[in-house]
Amino acid sequence: MAEERRIEDLTLLVTGGAGFIGSNFIHYMLDHYPRCKIINLDKLTYAGNLDNLKDVEKDPRYEFIQGDIRDRELVRNIFKRVQGVVHFAAETHVDRSILDAGEFVLTDVYGTFVLLEALKNSDIKLFIHVSTDEVYGSRDKGYFKEDDPLCPSSPYAASKVGADRMAYAYWVTYGLPIIILRPSNNFGPYQYPEKFIPLFVTNALEGKNLPLYGKGTNVRDWLYVEDNCRAIELVMRRGKVGEAYNVGANNEVQNITIAERIVDLLEKHKSLIKFVPDRLGHDKRYAVDCRKIHALGWKPEKEFDKALASTVRWYQENTDWWQKIKEKSKEFKSFYEEYYRDRK
Ligand code: NAD
Ligand code: DAU
């Protein structure tokens, strides 16, 4: 194995740090690396939320810049001040990409291109590109390896492939220090309540229906967000430049099982679960082979049932956090109806 990189004293740019995984990652880094510094560049789209970072906003090691990754001048200037980049910023919700893919192309593909161009003209030593396991598409059996063909199904996943391959091309063509991560479905605190687990937990707490797509038999591999942050940390230390790493927890669960566990944990009635028309092009199953990152020394630590229970508890104990989001966002209220209106 190549010599470990020292990341203790890095000044790091985190893009999309006000979102779900980004804010968890910033907390993780500030907790574990007393000498690191973090600049968080986030546009604060509907998914960005500074409440996620309230406890660190006065930390002298942390700086927030509201801005767009597509702003070339801004990005170029920030790149002069950092030694590493962890790139999370993206449009991330599959259902939204089905309604309108435009922002996905502009942010996920073009935004990544702007960052890569700035990287080309900088002294930055490490650029971690956060991709997704959705780039491979769906499969009924077996596991995708990092060098399998990419066959995305949703406009979101296709835009992530564009970004993933653009990052790879900048390594091949210019030798830039880029590493790609492809994590599976994350869950945990601070996840925007349009995604499956926080939507179902918060709806159940509000006594609302839990809209389960199709037959509820689709399978996802659930990864606790802190385990994903540890994977990013490890890849920053030991990952090989130019490589992609799958990150999964081998927690394959059908959606219906998760819905039932959520109502059980909240002591609600199962009748809250409502089967609704399926998501268009709904991927049946995601599953990734993680031997490559295991060989670097990473394994998920959180046991799924315990992590789900603690996640449910977090949403129970932080009602202000999600109620504010649900109240603020008019589009949130109409999103589901709009999605199905034309298909009934
Ligand atoms: P999120 O939607 O919660 O957060 C995205 C963040 O990016 C928000 O804070 C938003 O304001 C910011 N952003 C969006 N467009 C921007 C722009 N143009 N400039 C600057 N900031 C912008 O997303 P997440 O779930 O935390 O996902 C983070 C990354 O991880 C994404 O790249 C996503 O594709 C990837 N990923 C997510 C999961 C998951 O399960 N959540 C799994 C695998 C990979
Ligand atoms: O696999 C990684 C990906 O996981 C990330 O790249 C994406 O950013 C992230 O959004 C997530 O994509 P999914 O489509 O798998 O996540 P979502 O939470 O939207 O849905 C999870 C499963 O639950 C999926 O099979 C669809 C289903 N679902 C979702 C919602 C929102 C429902 O049955 N009902 C719902 O209301």
Question: What would the DSSP string read from start to end of 18-30?
Answer: TSHHHHHHHHHHH
183 pLDDT higher than 90: yes
CA distances from 12 to 32, 35, 78, 248 (A): 14, 11, 10, 25
Ligand 1: atom nearest CA of 18 is 9
Question: What phi and psi, each to the nearest 5 degrees, are found at residue 275?
Answer: -75, 130
> To test ligand 2's pocket by mutation, which of 196, 199, 218, 261 has the most ligand atoms within 8 angstroms of CB?
196
Residues with Cβ within 8 Å of 293's Cβ and at least 6 positions away in sequence, in order, are 231, 234, 235, 245, 246, 247
CA 116 to centroid of ligand 2, rounded, Å: 28
178 pLDDT higher than 90: yes
Judge residue 341's burial from the number of C-beta atoms within 10 Å of its C-beta, 0-12 exposed, 13-18 middle, 19 or more buried.
Answer: exposed
CA 268 to centroid of ligand 1, rounded, Å: 31
**Ranges assigned E (strand) in 11-131:** 11-15, 37-42, 62-66, 84-87, 126-130
Distance CA 67, CA 339 (A): 29
Q: Is residue 103 annotated as part of the catalytic site, yes or no?
A: no
Question: What phi and psi, each to the nearest 5 degrees, are found at residue 155?
Answer: -55, -35
CATH superfamily of 11-192+224-251+283-303: NAD(P)-binding Rossmann-like Domain (3.40.50.720)
CA distances from 76 to 10, 79, 115, 148, 158 (A): 18, 5, 8, 34, 27
Distance CA 328, CA 65 (A): 22
pLDDT tens digits along 73-123: 999 999 999 999 999 999 999 999 999 999 999 999 999 999 999 999 999
Selected catalytic residue, list 28, 62, 156, 170: 156
Joined tokens for residue 221: 């591999």
Between 336 and 27, the higher pLDDT residue: 27
Radius of gyration of the chain (CA): 19
Under the banding of pLDDT at 50, 70 and 90, the label for residue 328 is: confident
343 pLDDT higher than 60: no
Selected catalytic residue, list 42, 134, 164, 221: 134
279 pLDDT higher than 60: yes
**pTM, to two decimals:** 0.97
Distance CA 180, CA 236 (A): 10
Distance CA 123, CA 119 (A): 8
Which pLDDT value is given to residue 340?
59
Q: Is residue 301 annotated as part of the catalytic site, yes or no?
A: no
Residues with Cβ within 8 Å of 331's Cβ and at least 6 positions away in sequence, in order, are 46
Q: Which residue reads 């830039």 in tokens?
A: 176
19 pLDDT higher than 60: yes
Distance CA 284, CA 134 (A): 11
Ligand nearest to the CA of 219: 2
Q: Is the CB of 246 under 6 A from ligand 1?
A: no
Q: Which residue reads 């932080």 in tokens?
A: 318
CA 191 to centroid of ligand 2, rounded, Å: 12
331 pLDDT higher than 90: no
Question: In 183-254, which residue ranges form alpha helices assigned H by DSSP?
Answer: 196-205, 225-238
Q: Is the CB of 160 under 6 A from ligand 1?
A: yes
Residues with CB under 6 A from ligand 2: 92-94, 132-134, 184-185, 195-196, 199, 211-213, 218, 220, 255, 279, 286
Q: Is residue 134 annotated as part of the catalytic site, yes or no?
A: yes
Joined tokens for residue 18: 């006000």
Distance CA 267, CA 261 (A): 10
Distance CA 234, CA 193 (A): 29
Give the chain's mean pLDDT: 95
Under the banding of pLDDT at 50, 70 and 90, the label for residue 72 is: very high
Residues with Cβ within 8 Å of 264's Cβ and at least 6 positions away in sequence, in order, are none
Residues with Cβ within 8 Å of 205's Cβ and at least 6 positions away in sequence, in order, are 266, 315, 316, 319
DSSP, res 1? -
Contact between 51 and 321 (Cβ < 8 Å): yes
